A and B are shown apart, each in its own frame.
Chain A
Amino acid sequence: MQFSYEVKDSYAEVKSVGRLNMVAAPKLREVVAEVVAAGSSRVVVNLAETDFMDSSGLGALIGCLKAARQAGGDLRIAAVQPQVKMVLELTNMDRVLTAYATAEDAFGDD
């Protein structure tokens, strides 16, 4: 599992590559905390290359969402793959973590 990020004009994009499981979840929290602490509270997590997420990965996304909102921003997810979509729907979290087609679209409306 790997995470990298890039600060763009109006948001920061965090790329998640690999399985977002209980091993990777704490790393995602660290990376997003770092991004938010550096001043980017509008965060997109690009999940194009994440073909698996478990409830720990989902918990990390929820924690990151709260961290971004506490800093006055928001966290959105993009390019969700079928297994991740399934986990979001079965846990009813698809209504909280809105999925956008691409990272560019995530903050495209504001």
Chain B
Amino acid sequence: MTDVVARRGYHGPSTDEAIDAIHNELDSLWDDASFVPDMDRMTFATAVIEAAANIVQHALPVAEKPVEIDVDISVRPARLVARVSAHNAREPFADDMQASMPDSEAESGRGLALIEALVTTVTFERQDGTNTWILTRET
């Protein structure tokens, strides 16, 4: 098991408020991991916010219970890892999983392509009504 140098998390309803709350957690994460270069902070934080925003905008509940978002962000000696999960969520539509950059006139649809450009690996898991994005960036 790799040593975790710093960790932050968030769990709450999948709403607009979650986005700024997660962003605040990311900002405070670097207080405990000042050795992480600015470029890595910037790219990783952008990818995490894109993944969280994708959930808030697109995740639909599987039953009556509303979708909840859960984020676990950790800094390891040479790697940043984020698990961004949607609980009580349906499986995403194929259209929402589009990872190629749309044309320059498009006003949406760049999120996943941007995530792929920002991090080293992107993994998607679905288990028991939970969709999880695992983003890693080697530093």
Contacts and interface: CB of A to CB of B under 8 A. Distances in A.
Contact of B50 (A23, A54, A63, A82): A54
For chain B, the bracket of interface size reads 20 to 34
B126 to A, nearest CB: 23
Interface residues of A, number: 24
Given A55-B110, A59-B107, A59-B110, A91 B101 contact: yes
Contacts of B38: 82
Given A21-B53, A54-B49, A90 B114 contact: yes
Contacts, number: 69
Contacts of B118: 90
Q: Is the interface of A mostly helix, strand, loop or mixed?
A: helix
A55 B114 contact: yes
Contacts of B16: 22-23
Interface of B: 16, 19-20, 23, 38, 42-43, 45-46, 49-50, 53, 56-57, 101, 104-108, 110-111, 113-114, 117-118
Interface of A: 19, 21-23, 52, 54-56, 58-60, 62-63, 66, 82-83, 86-87, 90-93, 95-96
